[in-house]
A and B are shown apart, each in its own frame.
Chain A
Amino acid sequence: MGEETLKKILLTGGAVLTILFAMLPFTYMVATGLSTGADFLQQGQDYGFTLSNFATILFAESSHFVRYMLNSIVISGIAAVISVFCAALGAYALTRFQVPGGAVLMLIVLAISMFPPVSLVSYLFKFMTWLGWINTYQALILPYVAWTLPLSLWILVSYFKQVPLELDKAGLIDGASRLQILVKIILPVAAPGVFSTALLAFIFAFNEFLFALMLTTDFTARTIPVGIALFQGIHGQIPWGEIMAAATVTTIPVVVLTLIFQRRIISGLTRGAVKE
């Protein structure tokens, strides 16, 4: 057996193992959601294919699942857009102007993102109570923006650095203002970075649990992770089938978003801007 063949086998084997490892929980989740009994893996249990779990979470009034979903998408979406826009302003300044202590600033921003959220949550609760924002969208959007901003800033700075400064100069000569240059030139040119940053911020906010648990009280603003976690109490026993069905449906927005943006996240969009 040649070295090349061995390499190929190892590579394929490794890939298959990685995919199996990554997909197993997901597969189990989908399978459980489609089964009548959650313990179908035990001996003597039938699988019993059914769609009733999905029907329950989607159509039963009491589950509020659709509402959770809507809350999650709106909150995460708005948080991601605001976060990316603020980060873009910051990244533009940090890469284009000689900001005194710019590097230190970046490190401080990074340090802030290291704060464990649990250490902030009690204060945040008091703060939101004082504002009267408990159980509203903005109560979650604000901390999510703050929470994703460091990440967005760091990613965008690295993308903006790759956009040649000559484009800014050309824009200035052509009579554009700095904001016009950012919106009309830099953001479109750095589009792959902007979209991947937005996607990351969205997923970050979409998956967040602790703040959502503490700052919401019912379905008016509750997001999916909390919603799913609190499913249990309703029927007295843990409704694994419905939880797994809900979890499956939850993955859809993220997957769809990734698929849509994937075409945008290809690199090479700066091709033709300048001659390297």
Chain B
Amino acid sequence: MKIILENLRKHFEGAHGGVDAVKNLNLTVEDGEFFIFLGPSGCGKSTLLNLVAGLEKPTHGRILFGDETVAAPKERIFVPPRDRNVAMVFQNYALYPHMKVFDNIAFPLRVAKIDRDQIEESVRRTAAMLGIENLLNRKPGELSGGQRQRVAISRALVRQPRMFLLDEPLSNLDAQLRTSTRTELKELQNEMGITTLYVTHDQTEAMTLGDRVALLRDGELVQVGEPEALYHSPVSPFAATFIGSPPMNLLEGRKQGAGTIEMEGMEFNLPEKQAEAAADIDRDAVLVGIRPEKIQVFLNPPEGMGEPVEAAGRRLILRGELTSAEPLGREVLYHVALESGEVLALGDDMGAKRGDSIWLSFSAEDIHLFDAESMDRKTREQMQSGLSKENRKKLRRQSETVA
């Protein structure tokens, strides 16, 4: 089922003035697509999901399922959730605690007054698909988190809905279970070919699961595209730092004539692609972005140090001081202080200590250029704080499971 959102707006009236949770949003989700809404908390992604489900009424705009308009406040059209035939899985599962697993899964069918034998058959088939046949007589309170999650998914799938809505379904699972469930979810969706909207704040989930990802912020679309596109060509400093872990480094630079950038006391020519991006920026002040995984780390000055960087493809080399090194298992995350700020870089363990001189080398082909003015306060704060504690832990867990 194709989902079309047109000029969608959702306004919430609060005690301290109103707030627009979704601002004039336009989006089309193709039939059978696994589509991710990604963004930090408060970006409106859950509201968006509730609007599609019919749990919230839009303030303005239109929602279409295929050709059918399910919500259009101007024309006073609002199809209630029970008539939309959508299924939803909630972050905290929302199982009915007084009912056995069987009755939980059967609930949507019973409400729809489907006959007994057919309910029995559907429930057993769905439970078998999720591998929870042996739990049908238990109550939700007797299940582990992962099992509850499966029950919630079974309940959502049992009546063959038109689309599948998931609101941070993995965030309450522990790290290992999250990784395996992620894989299963992807396979399940592939098999069923059902249009899926998936809300998450975790960019790893977004990158691994999504056919396409919509990055949201403050109720607005920042960027929509395939995960690779978001990773390789972020449109703004926010997109650049939100996607990828650890986040992209942003360094201040200045344009010096066409295709030349001055940064950290050195000048270099831009390769063709970057030069085009630089030409689109009106101001001289730019931000130079480079992903930590694209930087090579050296304890001694590498070859070519001190030579002018001119030719495209030549590597840029910067010297800095190590402020901390965090072992992540497979590799080490280096925090390196440069003149204009701190840079994160991933590299092998070299036994470097705090205070050591570090040389960083990266290709001009790998840099991203942004207008310095497009860097707003929030992104700046996010950058300055570097990695939040939570992010760091997550990162460590991830590389442990990989290693």
Across the interface, A275 reaches (CB within 8 A) one of B93, B112, B155, namely B93
Shortest CB distance B164–A (Å): 11
- With contact pairs A170-B88, A172-B55, A175-B111 given, residues A272 and B143 touching in the complex (Cβ less than 8 Å): yes
The 8 Å CB contact of B88, one of A164, A173, A189, A272, is A173
Q: Does B148 contact A (CB under 8 A)?
A: yes
Q: Is B107 interfacial (CB 8 A cutoff)?
A: yes
* Distance (whole angstroms) from the CB of B388 to the closest CB of chain A: 23
Contact with B along A69-86 (1 / 0, CB 8 A): 000000000000000000
Contact in complex: A274, B93 (CB < 8 Å): yes
Q: Is the CB of B139 within 8 A of A174?
A: no
Q: Is the interface of A mostly helix, strand, loop or mixed?
A: loop
CA distance A49 to B20 in the complex (A): 79
Q: Is there an interface contact between B98 and A271, defined as CB atoms closer than 8 Å?
A: no
Rounded to whole angstroms, the CA-CA distance of A275 and B93 in the bound complex is 7
Assembly CA distance A18 to B80 (angstroms): 56
Is A275's CB under 8 angstroms from B92's CB? yes
Contact B108 A174 (CB under 8 A): yes
Q: Known A273-B140, A275-B145; judge A185-B96 contact (CB<8 A).
A: yes
CA distance A176 to B141 in the complex (A): 23
Asked whether, in the complex, the Cβ of A274 is within 8 Å of the Cβ of B141, the reply is no
Distance A173 CA – B80 CA, assembled complex (angstroms): 9
**Highest count of chain A CB atoms <10 Å: which of B86, B96, B142:** B96
Bound Cα distance A167, B96 (Å): 7
The complex places the Cα of A272 from the Cα of B95 at a distance, in Å, of: 7
Bound CA–CA A62/B54 (angstroms): 65
Residues A240-276 near B (CB distance < 8 A): 269-276
Contacting A at CB under 8 A, from B311-329, are: none
A180 at the interface (CB under 8 A from B): yes
A4 close to chain B: CB less than 8 A: no
Q: Is the CB of A189 within 8 A of B96?
A: yes
Interface string of B131-166 (1 = CB under 8 A from A): 000000001111101001000000110000000000
A273 touches B82 (CB 8 A): no
Contact with A along B87-128 (1 / 0, CB 8 A): 110101111111000000001100110000000000000000
**Nearest 5 pairs between A and B by C-beta?**
A272-B141, A272-B140, A274-B92, A166-B94, A273-B97
Which B residues contact A (CB, under 8 angstroms)? 50, 53-55, 80-82, 86-88, 90, 92-98, 107-108, 111-112, 139-143, 145, 148, 155-156, 172
List chain A positions with a Cβ less than 8 A from chain B: 164, 166-167, 169-170, 172-177, 180, 185, 188-189, 191, 269-276
**6 A-B residue contacts at CB 8 Å?**
A173-B88, A174-B107, A189-B97, A189-B98, A275-B145, A275-B148
